[in-house]
A and B are shown apart, each in its own frame.
Chain A
Amino acid sequence: MILPSLWTAVAGDRPVADQHDDPGHITWGWKDQLLGKKVWYYARILCRRNTIISLRLLPCFYALSPNYGDPEQDYLDQYQNGTLTLESKLVYEALLREGPLDTISLRKAARLSSPESTSRFNRALDTLQMELKILPVGVAQAGAWRYAFIYDLVHRHFPELIEQSRPISENQARYEILVNYFESIGAASFSEIQRIFRWGKSELQGALQQLVRDNHLLPEVELQNQKEPVYALNKLLETREKEAF
């Protein structure tokens, strides 16, 4: 499963280089430079990997997140329901209480500074980012590497996001995200899409069926050298048929 990447768009289709002077590493500078600038949304979102999402699509992602418009209460409900870990709660509350904090200060404020807490703290950071509750908004010269992300709460950094996402139904959100996803990648199988977005099977099926009804996608397309059939952009197949004449 593949997504377009800033690295390959800059450096070409090759693995991320180890050499510090590789020209492709300019992407890291750009990423740091734009943290907190509200030009795009950068955080660990898909598959626990760093993802850039356009601000236009952001309300759709937020509409699908477990945030229901009351950021000071929703996380408590989730914690009581057992869908938010204690560490995630502590990290979230530290940011709620103290404002934006760099990673080192955040660990202290959340009382997760001990070496045994490292993986639980990092997992909490990942989970909170994937749920669009926190995001990196800057870089501080802190810690052993003199480089640490500064985190803030999403609803504080993007206060308009709750209202922007409110009128978007989950079905609309999935539809819009898939339109953009397919415009980028052209074709994907059901299981590939499911792995990347982690939506429920019936919800994903519903969104794909709507895209097929609207003539964006064709289902049951055989992709050369791939066992599982794919959904493909209608325009890709139309082009090929025209070329065949």
Chain B
Amino acid sequence: MRFLSSATLNAYRQETFHTLPANRIRTLEEAVNLSISAVLSFSGPFKG
């Protein structure tokens, strides 16, 4: 069985979720671009 560390996954999600201060979304245009290929929830991360 292959192994994936939480650190690797969290680092990946910080990039794709734009949660790092450096890559946060600041404008409506950026928000629209973020949604181009994504399935996004509107408010906070949610439990299914």
Q: List residues of chain A with CB under 8 Å of any chain B CB.
A: 1-10, 12-13, 15-16, 27, 30-31, 33-34, 39-40, 42, 46-47, 49-54, 56-57, 177, 180-181, 183-187, 192, 195-196, 218, 220-225, 229-230, 232-233, 236-237, 239-240
Contact = CB atoms under 8 A, between A and B. Distances in A.
Contacts, number: 170
Nearest to A186: B12
What class of interface size applies to chain B in its complex with A?
A: 35 or more
Contacts of B43: 5-7, 16, 49-50
29 contacts: A2-B45, A2-B46, A3-B41, A4-B16, A4-B45, A5-B41, A6-B25, A8-B18, A8-B19, A9-B17, A9-B34, A10-B31, A12-B21, A15-B44, A47-B46, A52-B40, A54-B36, A57-B37, A183-B37, A183-B38, A186-B13, A186-B16, A192-B48, A221-B1, A221-B2, A223-B4, A236-B9, A236-B12, A239-B8
Interface of B: 1-9, 12-13, 16-19, 21, 24-26, 28, 31-32, 34-48
